Copies of this chain bind each other. A is one copy, B any other.
Amino acid sequence: MNNVVKIAVDAMGGDGSPKKVIDGILHHYRKNKNSLYQIFGDQEQIESHIKQSLPKNCFEIIHTNETVKGTDSPLEGAKRGKKTSMWLAIESVKNKKSDVVISAGNTGALLVISKINLKMIENIDKPALSALWPNKTGMSVVLDLGANIECNPKNLIDFSIMGSSLFKSLYPNDNAKVALLNIGTEEIKGNEMIKETYQKLSQKKNQDFEFKGYIEGDQLMNGDVNVIVADGFTGNIALKTAEGTASFIINELKKATTGNFIGKISSLLNISNLNKFKKRLDPRLYNGAIFIGLDSPVIKSHGGTDHIGFSNSLSVCTKTVTGDLINKIRNNMN
């Protein structure tokens, strides 16, 4: 088997695991036969869910009873030691037995244990948490989403490079267009840190991405740019506010369309259209986050997603490897 993508899977993290994780693997495998899953967790439970559905040569179960809890603080999670399913999965990429690691478990613990085990890519000061976000014409990469509360211009420039590399790994046919999230689009707007970053990015010569200047919150989804860069505080506020607004509107819409008989009839008629709408905005499509800056990709699936969402995160795993994310970042840093 050539070009096999070896994925280290923490089977025990998130709601409804390991069943959700295994169902996600089965779903992912149908379209990605060149996968080898290293599955970490409770062997008996994992086997009971896999049954006969997955060929024996495309997975391996590494048994452990220890798990990081969702309620652990990042440090508590790390202190549970080297036998948790999360730690073992990360160690597997450290030892080059896997190409990429994925967990739907405790985000903070995943970041801490990854930092303990994996090396930073040369010349990058801080790894960043990135995610996919829909826009009018496709998807954007947004980072940092909370790994680094305070940033300097060098960090934001690194994020631009890492974000563009991730974008190109996921969407090889598109060009990366970077913008800095700010409170205005004129050159003089914003704090000193962001203005200095703007100057440096404007002067930077590179063929990896096009720098498009500042972007305001209300333009994030218009599709003019596809890599959105911010410090972790700002990026987290923006992403969560967008999530909150989306669920608020969809709830208001549900209330409006199910309130009476006419509403129900028209909802029935409308079902194919609403399905199109739902599909476009299905959060499972852009489930999870990608922790970049370390020498292996670390993928965080949302703890609350279902097996379809987990499968989509496994597709992100596959693309970061086939798209050669880590080497792209290394080359673009030079």
Interface positions of A (Cβ within 8 A of B): 134-136, 146, 149-150, 181, 183, 190-191, 216-222, 230, 232-234, 236-253, 255-257, 259-260, 262-263, 265-267, 269-270, 272-274, 276-277, 280-281
Contacts and interface: CB of A to CB of B under 8 A. Distances in A.
Contacts of A232: 183
Given A136-B251, A218-B247, A220-B241, 5 more contacts: A181-B237, A237-B241, A255-B277, A256-B277, A256-B280
A237 B276 contact: no
A273 to B, nearest CB: 5
What 10 A-B pairs have minimum CB-CB distances, sorted nearest first?
A217-B240, A217-B241, A256-B277, A266-B269, A218-B244, A266-B270, A221-B248, A183-B236, A218-B240, A245-B245
B253 A262 contact: no
B263 A244 contact: no
B272 A262 contact: yes
Contact of A244 (B217, B243, B270, B281): B217
Contact of A273 (B135, B247, B251, B262): B262
A252 B281 contact: yes
A96 to B, nearest CB: 34
A63 to B, nearest CB: 34
A6 B232 CA distance: 46
A238 B236 contact: no
Q: This chain: how many copies in the complex?
A: 2
Contacts of A183: 146, 149, 232-233, 236-237, 240
A250 B247 contact: no
B260 A240 contact: no
A139 to B, nearest CB: 13
Contacts of A135: 248
A130 to B, nearest CB: 15
Contacts of A253: 253, 277
A74 B217 CA distance: 21
B266 A273 contact: yes
B190 A218 contact: no
Given A241-B241, A265-B269, A236 B217 contact: yes
